[in-house]
Structure 1
């Protein structure tokens, strides 16, 4: 299954990042939660964006464009195969940087991709 880094992970059960973390685990994917608040989601801790992970298939974004810039280097150094820009996270600048670095970009909803077997 695909190792997925959730950027913008949260313990708030009403947020889509929370729902996606749980759904990814339900579908058998390994997750890494990265966010600014401490806690645990879907059995995994929420980590600060310090450790650069390798061998990440997908970064699924749950940060608005105004909050993404400080994570550009982190995202690019992680070098995932793809970045999913969930609704409300679309960012032409980051998408362009990703493509220039050989990273596939997808404007889509992680929850929809999972439920339609397109993840």
Structure 2
């Protein structure tokens, strides 16, 4: 479980039930984790509002990415500005350039699967 009960930001959240980001929001909510989400389209997943604009969320502990490396570039400053403890690079989102930048700022860059971490109680 998230040690300090900070929020998890699902970045690249989808409103489509067959997407991993959608499952991640559902599982985070099921586990009692506070969740915020940003995606291309506004809506709601499992009671969590998905914003279509970059919100200045406070208290973000973890950013879990569901964006390919090319799409991540426009969010670098936004993510860093949230001052998260860690950023999870889910399968397909691995990005050595951004991972190194995060590590240089003291932010944990974790190549992992949020769904696996949650299902094995390692979140």
- TM-score when normalising by structure 2: 0.92
Q: Can you give the 5+ residue segments of structure 2 that lack an aligned partner in the other structure?
A: none
Count, aligned residues: 119
From the two aligned structures, give the one with the greater strand fraction. 2
Q: Which residue of 2 aligns with 1:94?
A: 98
Number of the residue aligned with 1:83:
87
Taking the aligned partners of 2:7 and 2:52, their CA distance within structure 1 comes to 18
Structure 1 unaligned segments of length 5 or more: list them.
none
Contact kept, 8 Å, 1:49 with 1:74, in 2: the verdict is no
User: Counterparts in 2 of 1:1-119, with a 5 A limit?
Assistant: 1-119=5-123
**SS of 2:60's equivalent?**
coil
Deviation at 1:53, TM superposition (A): 1.9
SS of the residue aligned with 1:54? coil
What is the deviation of 1:46? 0.9
The one-character-per-residue Cα deviations of 1:51-104 (angstroms, maximum 9, x if unpaired) are 222321100000011110000000000110000000000001110111111111
CA RMSD across the alignment: 1.0
> For the residues of structure 2 that align with 1:101 and 1:43, how far apart are their CA atoms?
33
Alpha-carbon distance between aligned partners in 1 of 2:53 and 2:75, rounded to the nearest angstrom: 8
Residue 57 of structure 1 aligns to a residue in which SS? strand
List structure 1 segments (4+ residues) > 3 angstroms apart after TM superposition. none
